[in-house]
């Protein structure tokens, strides 16, 4: 079985988030990481590899430094890494990004494509389903459990108040939730392999069946009209009181605001 | 693409088990504002099996027209037949705006449809208006009027971006539930109902549903609650949520939680507030043992009154709290519950 996992390098907004005095995000103080939902997708692929045997190829689109997340993926157990990078691909929205990744994946053999549900920087959850549309294969998003059954895949797909158990013929694309699993750590052997591994680098010329008019900033139907750092609601009062005083304080405020 | 051919504001009227989701009425409400600005109408697109009877309810909330796509293949939500239904409606009727709820269904369906018809899709919008693009004139660039300007948070809610889709139609957006206002229901209102069936032939993209498992829950949807008692990692254990349950009971409130609590398995996903959970705007939001990661703040900071209890005085939750109490929740919460009981009993 051949599995392609799409991963993205993102700024780390979780955990060590730093704020500027005006309440905006201090990006300079933040590290980059493998997007958490993508890491769960990679872990799901590696578990299928452990259970059924599979070749796992990780692919990312980004700046040359995005190679770091491919090496991290190989250190976790992926077999091959492909970096899609080219100046003409920059500024892409989800349409152009999904066209780019679909164009790259057309070079590969695959039974399963796994992507994270969404990236923590854009939060769109669009690129996975859009890739599946361009490749004309089924998509199952929000996967919480994945099993293989012959030439099909059986997936638990989460909704608000229910889940569906779905069966799809492969090839198929699945989007994974970070809640799907606990990703494994890199192994010492894996880290050695990752340092040695040769990363395949593709540019525009390697994309199959994609018109220039669908790539990069120029190929993006959506355009940014305005972007601003959000001004957060200011802090109110903050008090440190013993228990009885704290309770009186809260009840007093609730009365003042006619909550009780 | 001749952009002039595309007219009207369309909304996807999501139904599950033949019950219309509240997001459909919210989209009609917002759609009316946009349609009034453009001098056009709002059309609700109702997709399912045996759903025609629901059209009147959409009319009562303001839909001028309802397109019903009714087919046995559409009984349970599946990406492919639903994507085919919406893409066919768009190709046939050519709307200039198409809105979809940013629900688990809408966020799956929207991207598939936008990719099929080649247009842009802006995810998870919290504000929609009609305006010019570029917003201010730029020398050498045509300023287009009557564009849909779609505003959404990114970077876990820390950045706000306004997006336009000037050269493709329809302009598509998914819209966050709980943000747009429904219009008042007009009993007996009728819409022009049109039945449309593009034909459904199963192919490789149709998945088979082996089983539907519904979570059994008798609790109030946290998006509808007036008072939320929300707990985070600081609560410490699933058992210790008892303290929050007791407080909620006294106040007639509902318990919700942060993502860390769901990840730890203490509470179910439908109670999660935040970027990957639900957006809530209760009258009062108690944040108890919640540090206030930006993803969490994005889902609750519009609450009218935020009361935070946390032992860490540097917790970011205090940056948005109206009333912040630095202290031990294990002492304060039970004492608060007792005091409120006494106060309410005395009335």
CATH topology of domain B222-346: Rossmann fold (3.40.50)
The answer to the question of residue A144 being in a domain is: yes
Tell me which chain A residues have a C-beta less than 8 angstroms from the C-beta of B134.
225
Predicted complex ipTM:
0.87
The answer to the question of residue A242 being in a domain is: no
Q: For residue A109, give every residue at least 6 positions away whose Cβ sits within 8 Å of its Cβ, in sequence order, or none.
A: A2
Question: Which pLDDT tens digit goes with each residue over A93-150?
Answer: 999 999 999 999 999 999 999 999 988 888 899 999 999 999 999 999 989 889 999 9
Omega into B111 within 30° of 0, i.e. cis? no
Rg (CA), chain B: 22
DSSP-derived secondary structure for A187-240 = PHHHHHHHHHPPPEEE-GGG--S--GGGSTTTT-S-EEEEEEE--PPPP-EEEE
> What secondary structure letter does DSSP report for A19?
B
Which chain B residue shows the shortest CA-CA distance from A221? B120
The answer to the question of residue A60 being in a domain is: yes
Report the run of H or E that residue B44 belongs to, with start and end. strand B42-48
Report how far residue A44's alpha carbon sits from residue B214's, in angstroms, rounded to the nearest whole number.
24
- The whole-chain average pLDDT of chain A stands at 90
End-to-end Cα distance, chain A: 62
| Residue B233 confidence (pLDDT) | 96
- C-alpha triplet B185, B277, B45: angle, nearest 5°: 40
Using an 8 Å Cβ cutoff, are A60 and A42 in contact?
Answer: no
Question: Which pLDDT tens digit goes with each residue over B313-341?
Answer: 999 999 999 999 999 999 999 999 999 99
- Give the closest of A24, A130, A169 to B158, CB-based: A24
The answer to the question of residue A140 being in a domain is: yes
Tell me which chain A residues have a C-beta less than 8 angstroms from the C-beta of B328.
243
Question: Which pLDDT tens digit goes with each residue over A216-239?
Answer: 999 999 998 988 776 666 778 999
| Residue A254 confidence (pLDDT) | 92
Placement of tokens 């369906």 in the chain: B109
Report the run of H or E that residue B10 belongs to, with start and end. strand B9-13
Q: For residue B53, give every residue at least 6 positions away whose Cβ sits within 8 Å of its Cβ, in sequence order, or none.
A: none
Does the pLDDT value for residue A156 go beyond 70? yes
Yes or no, beta carbons of A17 and B293 under 8 Å apart: yes
Residues of chain B with CATH 3.40.50.620: 3-195
Tell me the nearest-neighbour CA distance from A198 into chain B, angstroms.
32
> What secondary structure letter does DSSP report for B201?
-
Token pair listed for B193? 């109902």
Report how far residue A19's alpha carbon sits from residue B310's, in angstroms, rounded to the nearest whole number.
19
> What secondary structure letter does DSSP report for B313?
T
Yes or no, beta carbons of A222 and B209 under 8 Å apart: no
| Residue A18 confidence (pLDDT) | 59
- Give chain B's length: 347
> What secondary structure letter does DSSP report for B13?
E
The answer to the question of residue A174 being in a domain is: yes
Total domains, chain A: 1
Using an 8 Å Cβ cutoff, are B289 and B236 in contact?
Answer: yes
Omega into B25 within 30° of 0, i.e. cis? no
The answer to the question of residue A227 being in a domain is: no
Q: Residue A97 maps to which CATH number?
A: 3.40.50.620
- Give the closest of B103, B163, B208 to A224, CB-based: B163
Placement of tokens 């397109």 in the chain: B67
- Give the closest of B111, B156, B205 to A13, CB-based: B156
Quote the domain boundaries for residue A202. Answer: 2-214
- Average pLDDT of the residues in A4-17: 79
Using an 8 Å Cβ cutoff, are B209 and A166 in contact?
Answer: yes
| Residue A107 confidence (pLDDT) | 98
- C-alpha triplet A235, A239, A243: angle, nearest 5°: 140
Least confident of A14-18, A124-128, A250-254, B264-268: A14-18
Q: Which has the closest alpha carbon to B67: B95, B34, B26?
A: B95
> What secondary structure letter does DSSP report for A255?
H
Does the pLDDT value for residue A23 go beyond 60? no
| Residue B157 confidence (pLDDT) | 66
Tell me which chain B residues have a C-beta less than 8 angstroms from the C-beta of A138.
79-80, 204-207
In tens digits, chain B (347 residues) has pLDDT values of 789 899 999 999 999 999 999 999 999 999 999 999 999 999 999 999 999 999 999 999 999 999 999 999 999 999 999 999 999 999 999 999 999 999 999 999 999 999 999 999 999 999 999 999 999 999 999 999 999 999 998 776 667 889 999 999 999 999 988 789 899 999 999 999 999 999 999 999 999 999 999 876 556 788 888 899 999 999 999 999 999 999 999 999 999 999 999 989 999 888 999 877 888 888 899 999 999 998 898 889 888 899 999 999 999 999 999 999 999 999 999 999 999 999 988 87
| Residue B123 confidence (pLDDT) | 95
Residues of chain B with CATH 3.40.50.1220: 222-346
| Residue A13 confidence (pLDDT) | 64
End-to-end Cα distance, chain B: 67
CATH topology of domain B3-195: Rossmann fold (3.40.50)
Does the pLDDT value for residue A16 go beyond 60? no
DSSP lists the bridge partners of residue B6 as none
A158 band by pLDDT with thresholds 50, 70 and 90: confident
C-alpha pair distances (Å), A12 with each of A36, A70, A158, B87, B202? 9, 17, 26, 36, 42
Q: In a mutagenesis test of the A interface, which of B21, B84, B105, B108 is the best target, namely the one with the most A β-carbons within 10 Å? A: B108
For residue B111, count other CB atoms closer than 10 A to its CB: 32
Question: Which pLDDT tens digit goes with each residue over B196-205?
Answer: 999 999 999 9
């Amino acid at each position: 079985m051949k599995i392609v996992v799409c991963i993205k390098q993102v700024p780390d907004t979780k955990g060590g988030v730093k704020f500027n005095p005006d309440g905006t995000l201090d990006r300079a103080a933040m590290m980059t990481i493998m997007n958490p939902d993508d890491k769960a997708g990679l872990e799901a692929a590696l578990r299928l590899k452990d259970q059924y045997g599979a070749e796992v190829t990780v692919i990312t689109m980004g700046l040359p430094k995005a190679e770091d997340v491919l090496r991290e993926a190989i250190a976790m157990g992926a077999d091959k890494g492909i970096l899609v990078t080219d100046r003409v691909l920059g500024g892409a929205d989800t349409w152009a990004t999904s066209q780019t990744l679909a164009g790259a994946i057309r070079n590969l053999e695959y039974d399963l494509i796994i992507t994270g549900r969404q990236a923590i920087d854009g939060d769109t959850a669009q690129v996975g389903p859009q890739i599946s549309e361009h490749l004309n294969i089924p998509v199952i998003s929000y996967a919480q459990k994945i099993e293989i059954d012959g030439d099909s895949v059986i997936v638990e797909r989460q909704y608000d108040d229910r889940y569906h158990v779905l069966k799809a013929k492969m090839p198929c694309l699945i989007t994974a939730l970070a809640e799907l699993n606990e990703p494994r750590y890199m192994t010492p052997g894996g880290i050695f392999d990752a340092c040695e591994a040769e990363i395949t680098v593709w540019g525009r010329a390697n994309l199959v069946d994609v018109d220039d008019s669908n790539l990069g900033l120029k190929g993006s139907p959506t355009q940014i009209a305005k972007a601003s750092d959000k001004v957060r609601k200011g802090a109110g009062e903050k008090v440190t009181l013993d228990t009885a005083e704290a309770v009186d304080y809260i009840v007093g405020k609730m009365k003042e605001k006619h909550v009780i | 693409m001749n952009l002039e051919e595309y007219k009207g504001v369309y909304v996807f009227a999501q139904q599950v088990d033949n019950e219309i989701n509240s997001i459909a009425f919210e989209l009609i409400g917002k759609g009316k504002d946009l349609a009034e600005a453009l001098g056009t109408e709002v059309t609700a697109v109702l997709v399912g099996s045996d759903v025609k009877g629901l059209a009147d309810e959409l009319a009562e909330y303001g839909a001028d027209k309802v397109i019903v796509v009714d087919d046995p293949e559409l009984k349970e939500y599946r990406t492919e037949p639903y994507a085919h239904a919406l893409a066919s409606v768009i190709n046939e009727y050519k709307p200039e705006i198409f809105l979809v709820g940013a629900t688990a269904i809408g966020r799956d369906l929207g991207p598939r449809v936008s990719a099929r018809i080649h247009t842009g899709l802006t995810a998870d919008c919290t504000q929609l208006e009609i305006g010019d693009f570029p917003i201010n004139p730029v020398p050498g660039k045509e300023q287009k009027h009557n564009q849909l300007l779609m505003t959404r948070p990114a970077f876990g809610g820390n950045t706000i971006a306004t997006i336009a889709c000037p050269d493709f139609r329809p302009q598509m957006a998914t819209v966050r539930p709980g943000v747009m206002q429904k219009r008042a229901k007009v009993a007996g209102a009728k819409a022009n109902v049109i039945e449309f069936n593009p034909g459904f032939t199963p192919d490789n993209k149709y998945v088979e549903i082996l089983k539907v498992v519904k979570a059994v829950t008798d609790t109030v949807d946290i998006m509808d609650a007036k008072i939320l008692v929300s707990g985070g990692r600081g609560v410490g254990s699933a058992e210790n949520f008892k303290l929050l349950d007791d407080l909620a009971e006294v106040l007639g409130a509902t318990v919700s939680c942060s993502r860390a609590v769901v990840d730890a398995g203490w509470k179910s996903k439908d109670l999660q507030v935040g970027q990957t959970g639900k957006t809530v705007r209760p009258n009062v939001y108690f944040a108890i043992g919640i540090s206030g990661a930006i993803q969490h703040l994005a889902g609750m900071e519009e609450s009218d009154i935020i009361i935070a209890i946390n032992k860490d005085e540097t917790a970011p939750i205090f940056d948005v709290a109206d009333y912040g109490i630095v202290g031990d929740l294990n002492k304060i919460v039970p004492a608060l519950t007792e005091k409120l009981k006494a106060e309410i009993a005395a009335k």
